């Protein structure tokens, strides 16, 4: 046996020994970024969404909105840990549901999942913040009139029966993922589910006593702006964090997210200015949120030119949807959850095939444009139907054992005092 043969075999042997002895380690840079992104996404709900929604309601309902967001954050965290994560990302064979093999973190180590570079417990926590903000978005549909206990039961059950299965379909290797649905950060999983469910909830719950004849303006536009600003910053964790690493995809996602938000804010402001003669703080903040919601599914699929188009389209279409839902159809989706988040998420999901190869930094798609559009449309329709059916079923079931809304007297008094025995502003 020659020297070269001995050396080669020794090298192979050493390689096998090192490979078998070395555990799978997470990348520290990627992990550090996703730790930060996780905090940013939680920051979107607490305090971002709480302030944004709280400023839009009447002063007598401010604390109730804060309470909804805080309680949902706590309750969804435990539901996600107990079974939500496992249903969404656990091993499944049917492509429909993941099962319960990973409940309470069973079987996890510090090692990354296959194809990832971050520890699985960190992935669980990152996804938990998405599971928190999605039902929290629905708060805007039933603000100022919902029974607090019924709301908690609904959100917990909705997470298990609607959000987690959809997350499995799209992000957990389920049947929509296998068909090639693209949803980078939640246009379908987050915004379509929450938006459609919000619309269904508003229809079943009924209108507020003063809607639409005596609409009261937002009690604190300042809170609205502060909350929107926190959403803008937190959304970088939402979208750029969905790259699951500190890499070029995250950088591009952050750039297009910011571009869409800035564009939509200015276009919405211009529409208001041209229509009513005055640009409003609430309007520019709402436009910005519409731009963020609409770019979310496409943040990994378009470049800056596509983001400009998406931001512009989101402002016009979501603005029109607000007028259609609130004024023409007179549906009391109190804080325009469907018109902004639902319509925005659906719009971005359907626009991305046409913009994925447009301009610098656009990564393109693997499927032909119309084939991808067909898959996107199917995903939106199926998820929208599921969201409506689950929401209606849960609300009718809950209504059998407790009221869905407070009494007319409590609604008039305000939920801060009637439900929680507190007041945000003491005279």
Ranking 11-25, 37-51, 308-322, 359-373 by mean pLDDT, the lowest is: 11-25
The Cα 253–Cα 185 span in angstroms is: 10
Which fold does the domain 33-420 belong to in CATH?
A: Ammonium transporter fold (1.10.3430)
pLDDT of residue 427: 63
Q: Average pLDDT of 343-370?
A: 97
Q: Provide the residue ranges of all domains of the chain, joining segments of one domain with +.
A: 33-420
pLDDT bin (cut points 50, 70, 90) of residue 180 is very high
Percent of the chain with pLDDT over 90: 90
The Cα 48–Cα 236 span in angstroms is: 13
Q: Average pLDDT of 165-193?
A: 97
| Mean of the per-residue pLDDT values of the chain | 94
For the chain, report the end-to-end CA distance as a whole number of angstroms.
96
Which pLDDT tens digit goes with each residue over 201-224? 999 999 999 898 888 899 999 999
pLDDT of residue 6: 41
Q: Average pLDDT of 236-244?
A: 98
pLDDT of residue 2: 52
Ranking 24-28, 290-294, 304-308 by mean pLDDT, the lowest is: 24-28
- CB-count exposure of residue 305 (10 Å: 0-12, 13-18, 19+): middle
In angstroms, the Cα distances linking 425 to 61, 220, 334 are: 11, 12, 22
Which pLDDT tens digit goes with each residue over 320-348? 999 999 999 999 999 999 999 999 999 99
């Amino acid at each position: 046996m020659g020297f070269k043969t001995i050396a080669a075999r020794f090298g192979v042997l050493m390689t096998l020994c090192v490979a078998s002895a070395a555990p799978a380690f997470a990348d520290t840079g990627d992990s550090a970024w996703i730790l930060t992104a996780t905090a940013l996404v939680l920051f979107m709900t607490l305090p971002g969404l709480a302030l944004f929604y709280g400023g839009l309601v009447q002063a007598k309902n401010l604390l109730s909105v804060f309470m909804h967001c805080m309680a949902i954050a706590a309750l969804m965290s435990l539901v996600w840990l107990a079974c939500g994560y496992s249903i969404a990302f656990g091993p499944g064979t049917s492509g429909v549901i993941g099962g319960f093999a990973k409940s309470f973190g069973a079987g996890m180590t510090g090692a990354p999942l296959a194809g990832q570079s971050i520890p699985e417990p960190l992935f669980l926590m990152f996804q938990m913040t998405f599971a928190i903000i999605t039902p929290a978005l629905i708060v805007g549909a039933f603000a100022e009139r919902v029974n607090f206990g019924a709301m908690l039961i609904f959100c917990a059950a909705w997470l298990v029966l609607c959000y987690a299965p959809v997350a499995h379909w799209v992000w957990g290797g389920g049947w929509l993922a296998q068909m090639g649905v693209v949803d980078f950060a939640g246009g379908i999983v987050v915004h379509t589910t929450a938006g459609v469910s919000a619309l269904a909830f508003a229809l079943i719950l009924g209108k507020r006593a003063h809607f639409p004849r005596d609409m009261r303006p937002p009690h604190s536009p300042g809170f609205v702006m502060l909350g929107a600003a926190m959403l803008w910053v937190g959304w970088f964790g939402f979208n750029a964090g969905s790259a699951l690493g500190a890499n070029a995809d995250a950088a591009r996602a952050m750039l297009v997210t910011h571009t869409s938000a800035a564009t939509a804010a200015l276009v919405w402001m211009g529409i208001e200015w041209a229509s009513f003669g005055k640009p409003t703080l609430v309007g520019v903040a709402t436009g910005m949120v519409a731009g963020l919601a609409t770019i979310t599914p496409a943040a990994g699929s378009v470049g800056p030119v596509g983001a400009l188009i998406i931001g512009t389209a989101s402002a016009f279409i979501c603005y029109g949807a607000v007028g259609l839902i609130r004024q023409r159809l007179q549906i009391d989706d109190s804080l325009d959850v469907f018109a902004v988040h639902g319509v925005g998420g659906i719009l971005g999901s359907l626009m991305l095939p046409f913009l994925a190869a447009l301009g610098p930094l656009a990564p393109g798609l693997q499927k032909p444009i119309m084939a991808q559009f067909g898959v996107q449309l199917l995903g939106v329709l199926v998820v929208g139907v599921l969201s409506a059916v689950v929401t209606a079923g849960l609300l009718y079931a809950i209504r059998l054992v407790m009221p869905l809304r407070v009494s007319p007297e409590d609604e008039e008094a305000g939920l801060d005092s009637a439900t929680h025995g507190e007041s945000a502003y003491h005279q």
